[in-house]
């Protein structure tokens, strides 16, 4: 789900299909509503969100919600980068404040 709070429009995008076609679709749907600008903030918590977190050169911050993903996963590597940069770079890490339930093993990203 890509949501725009300022104009209250939401667009469903196919999960896991972040390629040039989807990026173009996002640009065609949302950018015209905002002066053809790229998003300044994006957020995500899984490997499926990684392309969006890093797709746009104009994005100022990419917020990673820590839900206990493996440090070896794509999102885990971005979380590690945010930690290394002290949340002072593009990638910001929101720590998990609630206990994690269930298993994150088995590639369930």
CB-based burial label for 44 (10 Å; 0-12, 13-18, 19+): middle
pTM: 0.67
Question: Would you kindly state where each structural domain of the chain is located, as residue ranges?
Answer: 2-94
For 21-70, write each residue's pLDDT tens digit. 667 777 888 888 889 888 889 899 988 888 888 888 888 999 999 888 88
6-24: burial string, b at 16+ Cβ within 10 Å, e else: eeeeeeeeeeeebeeebee
The band of 86, judged by pLDDT with boundaries at 50, 70 and 90, is very high
């Amino acid at each position: 789900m890509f949501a725009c709070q300022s104009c209250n429009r939401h667009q469903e995008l196919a999960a896991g299909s972040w390629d040039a076609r989807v990026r173009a679709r996002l640009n065609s749907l949302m950018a015209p509503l905002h002066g053809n600008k790229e998003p300044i903030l994006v957020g995500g918590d899984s490997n499926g969100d990684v392309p969006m977190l890093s797709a746009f050169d104009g994005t100022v911050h990419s917020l990673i919600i820590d839900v206990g993903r493996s440090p070896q996963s794509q999102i885990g590597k971005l979380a590690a980068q945010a930690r290394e940069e002290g949340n002072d770079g593009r990638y910001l890490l929101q720590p998990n404040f609630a206990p994690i339930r269930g298993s994150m093993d088995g590639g369930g990203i």
